[in-house]
Amino acid sequence: AGVPYDIVLEMDELNDDFPDTDVVLVIGANDTVNSAAEDDPNSIIAGMPVLRVWKAEQTIVMKRSLGVGYAAVDNPVFFKPNTSMYLGDAKKQCESLLE
Active-site position among 6, 16, 17, 31: 31
Phi, psi of 87 (to 5 degrees): -85, 145
For residue 20, indicate whether it is catalytic.
Answer: no
Which residues are CB-contacts of 2 (< 8 A; sequence separation ≥ 6)? none
CA angle 32, 84, 27 (to 5 degrees): 40
Sheet holding 83-87, edge to edge: 23-27, 58-63, 83-87
| DSSP H stretches of helix in 1-99 | 11-14, 36-39, 90-98
Catalytic residues: 31
